[in-house]
Amino acid sequence: MKKYIIPSIRLTLVLIVLLCILYPISIALAGKFAKGKGGGEKIVKNGKTVGYAMLGQSFTKPEYFWGRPSAVAYNAAGSAGSNKGPSNPDYLKEVQSRIDALLKYNPGLKKSDIPADMVTASGSGLDPNISEQGAAIQIARVAKARKIDEKKVKELVAMNTLKPLMGLFGPSSVNVLKLNLALDNL
């Protein structure tokens, strides 16, 4: 073994310089040319940061579109899913109470129209998106709370819907933060 110890130490040191200093710093420098300068894309309103484009935040007021349930209450200092198993009785009660809350705050909503994403917690707890259907079921409530035409809200939802990649791959989604800021800008 002795024969290999010195080369091991020297090789480790050389590789640390290459892999832990040169590589990451070059990427960080290149990142300065990316959106958000490699620190995450921020959304600024009136000169103040109000959020990150990719991070969901908590919306509870009726005049805003709500995001998905979150296991970490949208606290982006951490991230986690609920890790609840599909058959866990406590979890299923929680889902039921989310359904009840949606029905309560969105009068006229039919249960069968509620999409799964609106009553289940996301994997990261920071999901910035809801499904198109998740937005659709909230349009009436938001329009009423803001006293504006439903059509106008519908248009904004359509404008803030991200279609599948190249129109072909993956699901479509609605960015809740961007949509709500667009509403505030009306």
Partner 1 sequence: MNTELIGIIATFLLTLIIAIPLGKYLAKVFAGEKVWTDFLKPLENGIYKLSGINVKEQMNWKQQLKALLTINVLWLVYGFFVLIFQDKLPFNPDGNPGMTPDLAFNTIISFVANCNLQHYSGESGVSYLTQQFVLMFLQFVSAATGIAAAVVLFKAFRDKTATQLGNFWEFFVKSITRLLLPLSVIVALILTFNGTPASYEGKDQFISVQGDTVNVSRGPAAQMIAIKHLGTNGGGYFGANSAHPFENPSYLTNMVEVIAQTIIPIAMIIAFGYFIRRRKLAWTIFGVMTIGLFMLMIPTLSSELGGNPAIAKMGISQATGAMEGKEVRLGPAATAYWSTLTTVISTGSVNGMHDSTMPLTGLWQLLAMMINAIYGGCGVGLLNYFVYLIIAVFISGLMVGRTPEFLGHKVEAREIKIAALITLLSPFLILAGTAIASYVFTNHGNAAWAVQPKAWLNNPGFHGFSEMLYEVTSSNANNGSGFEGLGDNNIFWNVLTGVIIFLGRFLPIIGPVAIAGLLAGKKFIPESAGTLKTDTKTFALMTFAVILVLNALSYFPALALGPLAEYFTMLK
Residues 138-177 that bind partner 1 (CB under 8 A): 162, 164-165, 167-173, 177
- Residues 6 or more apart whose CB falls under 8 angstroms from that of 50 comprise 43, 44, 177, 181
Over the window 57 to 86, marking each residue x when it contacts partner 1 by CB under 8 A and - when it does not, the resulting string is xxxxx--x---x-----xxxxxxxxxxxxx
In angstroms, give the least distance from the CB of 19 to partner 1.
Answer: 5
In angstroms, give the least distance from the CB of 151 to partner 1.
Answer: 24
Q: How many residues bind partner 1 (CB under 8 A)?
A: 107
Instruction: Take residue 80 and report the two structure tokens written for it.
Output: 């986690």
Instruction: Take residue 144 and report the two structure tokens written for it.
Output: 């009423």
CA–CA separation, 136 and 159 (whole Å) = 13
CA–CA separation, 81 and 13 (whole Å) = 38
- Which residues from 83-142 bind partner 1, rule CB under 8 A? 83-89, 91-92, 95-96, 99, 111-117, 119-131, 133-134
CA–CA separation, 157 and 175 (whole Å) = 9
Nearer to partner 1, 61 or 104 (CB): 61
